A and B are shown apart, each in its own frame.
Chain A
Amino acid sequence: MVALAEAQVWEALEEIPDPEIPVVSLVDLGVIRSVDVQDGHVRIEFTPTFLGCPALEFMKRAIEEKVPEAEVVVVQDDSWSTDKITPAGREKLREAGFAPPAPRLVQLQSQVHRCPYCGSTETRLENIFGPTPCRSLRYCDSCRQPFEQFKTI
């Protein structure tokens, strides 16, 4: 068996969609903390977005199926925030009608939320909570479109 290279593992992981927002991959979301390949042994560390995420086991199994050689370790530290979502991931979210989360620094200084459909900042909060823990519901007063806002955490 030819040993997997680290880059190949990353490529394989890029093909695993997020179970709840399938337009983005686990790599886009930034939840893959590290990939380590040593002497044919592959170790993948990943971390949940929200701790109560019911897709956690599902994602772990998806990684194990995609990279059967790998040891998959779930890390519960504070290494993930929405700032870890890649620029490509943010663009994919926007295209699918999810407003990407504001960077944490920006969020602390302003409460501006942009509509992913028309770009207007004339939007208001409808509900802090939405269909999954990571989303809020907002409404755009410019184009009258309700939309989901990825929470900044």
Chain B
Amino acid sequence: MNAQERLLGIADDELVLGWRESEWTGIAPLLEEDVAFSSIAQNEIGHARALYQLIVGEEGDADALAFDRELEKYRCAPLVELQLLDWAHTIARRWLYEIADEIRLAALKDDPDPAVAGLAAKIDREETYHRMHAAMWHERLRDEPRFQAAVEELWPYAVGLLPSELRDELAVRTGLDLPSDNLSQAHERGTHTDELGPLWEEMTEVRRSAPAGAQW
């Protein structure tokens, strides 16, 4: 995978996950979480915007890259596509995603391209607060069987967030075992779930309904 494609994968993860997290706005089980998920969604989509801009260059059109692609061209991992309107699964994904994201950001911060390394460092500062939030909920729910079952179910998806060389660290940090061929396979980037379709329809609806270059 080349560097551009790797960045595009992360940008798509953040865009699609931001979209999914925003689905809690107004209906989260606690008012504090309504605010938290709205903020987290805003941050993730902000990170996606910055990454798209980095890929297309200063004069390029980040919105076009974000919204004018066919569904099959998206590079997000299947984990972020799932519509999870169950709190145990939602928190399980938050917790797994933030750990994986921290690992890949740490690698990107050492990127030889200073623009990539600088943006990764800036994103990482903001993610600190997502990690605090995820850790707080993990602490609260980790002994609940329903939460444990959700983590187990989403684990093969979480593995698909990272390239193979970073997966061992994810296993160590989460205390989970990497899927082997005998057990469940990782849900790899490049494949999509059926749940991406309706999300893509919604996400790109405005762009598709207005001619390119429309002024708002």
Residues of A within 8 A of B (CB): 50-54, 73, 76-81, 126-131, 133, 136, 151, 153
- Interface of B (DSSP majority class): helix
Do the beta carbons of A133 and B121 come within 8 Å of each other? no
Q: Is B166 an interface residue (CB 8 A)?
A: no
Complex formed: what's the CA distance from A78 to B119 in Å? 6
Complex formed: what's the CA distance from A76 to B129 in Å? 19
Q: Is B107 an interface residue (CB 8 A)?
A: no
CB contacts (< 8 Å) of B122 on chain A: these are 51, 76-78, 80
Between-chain CB contacts (< 8 Å), 24 pairs: A51-B50, A51-B122, A51-B123, A51-B126, A52-B42, A52-B44, A52-B45, A52-B47, A53-B46, A76-B50, A77-B114, A77-B119, A77-B121, A79-B118, A127-B35, A128-B133, A129-B35, A129-B40, A133-B43, A133-B126, A136-B129, A153-B125, A153-B126, A153-B128
Q: How many A-B residue pairs have CB under 8 A?
A: 74
Residues of B within 8 A of A (CB): 32, 35-36, 38-40, 42-47, 49-50, 53-54, 58, 114-115, 118-119, 121-123, 125-126, 128-129, 132-133, 136
Complex formed: what's the CA distance from A129 to B31 in Å? 11
CB contacts (< 8 Å) of A54 on chain B: these are 42
Tell me the nearest residue of chain A to B18, going by C-beta: A52
Do the beta carbons of B49 and A129 come within 8 Å of each other? no
CB contacts (< 8 Å) of A51 on chain B: these are 43, 46-47, 49-50, 122-123, 126
Complex formed: what's the CA distance from A113 to B158 in Å? 35
The interface centre, meaning the residue of B38, B40, B46, B114 with most chain A CB atoms within 10 A of its CB, is B46
CB distance from B13 to the nearest CB of A (A): 15
CB contacts (< 8 Å) of B44 on chain A: these are 52
CB distance from B94 to the nearest CB of A (A): 12
Tell me the nearest residue of chain B to A73, going by C-beta: B58
Complex formed: what's the CA distance from A110 to B77 in Å? 37
Complex formed: what's the CA distance from A86 to B46 in Å? 25
CB distance from B50 to the nearest CB of A (A): 5
Which of B46, B118, B126, B132 contacts A77, CB < 8 Å?
Answer: B118
> 4 extra interchain contacts, Cβ-Cβ under 8 A, other than A51-B43, A51-B47, A77-B115?
A76-B50, A129-B129, A129-B133, A133-B126
